Structure 1
Amino acid sequence: MYINSEHKKAQELLDEQKFEKSLIAFNKALKLDPNHPDILSHRGVLHLHMNQKRKCFDDLELSLELDKGYAYRYAALAYARDYFGDLEGAILLYQQAVEVDPEDAISHNNLGLLMEKQGYQQKAKDNFEKADKLAQIQDDMLDKLNELESEEEKFLVKNNDEGSISKSNPLPKPGTMNTPKGEPLQPKKLKADTPPTFGQVSKDLVTKKSVFKEFVSFVKNGFKLEK
């Protein structure tokens, strides 16, 4: 989700690896929405790819300070800490991420990778197993939601053909069912149908669960996109 038009432009430029122009757009985006944690987080990732360590940390640390209840703020900074060689700092931040969100499969997986680097094989194994279990649960839940949505579509089509749906109390349209919190329920698959672009990986690896499998491949491939 883009916060404003400049934010969208910045991400599109990042997809094209036009870093300097992307930075200009990010700066404009922050002028429109000062200190927005999403924009700061994404600009922090841009600084990472520009190898600007201090600026990267500054953005991600401020993003975390502004949104401490969101596990991915910790994971974003943890990823950057590891990228720039601070293994201990990264481990502590990933541990905080899973404390905030025990079902954060990505952070469990990344914590396992770092534990493995330190030689803690059993701890790494525990985290990998937890990540795999959570990822499978998420896949199963999304598959069930998609099945329900498919059945809902069939029901609507059938009843529309029969002209039996009440106009005063119509059934919700597919994809518009709400969560218990009243938020729109729009399930997405955890794995993408097509390879992610450079900008998508650089943005999503610290903000979304939907790229879990792509992220694992990204890390194991030495932080490089597979061609």
Structure 2
Amino acid sequence: MSATAATDAQLTTTARAYDHWAEPYTELVRTEFDRLPLDRAMFAAFADTVRAEPVGPVVELGCGPGRLTAHLRDLGLDASGIDLSPVMIDIARRTYPDLRFEVGSMHALDLPDASLAGAVSWYSVIHALPEDVPGYFGEFARVLRPGGHLLVGFFESEGGPVKPFDHKVTTAYRWPVDEVARVAAERGFTETGRMLREPREGERFRRGHLLLRKGDLG
């Protein structure tokens, strides 16, 4: 199978899996963020950073049922969401009719170059084939304006290599935080902050979070 065919197959598998699990997944995560003060602190830092720059839109890439897009809106940002799963987008539109949600892939975003002040990829590259992740960061860099900000969340591999695991929905990957930072740097991002959170009760893995800034020269 060619690299392109493998990527297309992975995207199809992920979209179908989230379509299938959309309703129970939405219920599972409905109030989860309320119990995660450190994660909320990263969102607050991201919002403060974006608001300190000239005003512009922010997109949650891989928004699922839209709860975090709404949280970004509540933090004072002009937020919208994109997700690969049409069923997830239907749920988001029903739940938050005042916000804008579109079906799309982070692999090839239907957004103009340098059009965003900020982007959030919160556990949305975890299902990407490891060899595709640099391309995803390249796409994030394309749609962010120079000086734009990116917040990334992922499962951390605690110093080990990139490794797959049995995510509840479909196969996902754990990444060492330094490797994610390196991939981002190769696509023109500078790290402005990071947070590693140990697993809470009921969680299996450490969580990695990076706050990044696109270079001023694009």
> Is TM (by shorter chain) over 0.5?
no
| Structure richer in helix, relative to its length | 1
Q: Which has the higher contact order (CA 8 A, sep 6+)?
A: 2
- Computing the radius of gyration from Cα coordinates, the structure with the larger value is 1
TM-score (norm 2): 0.28
TM-score (norm 1): 0.27
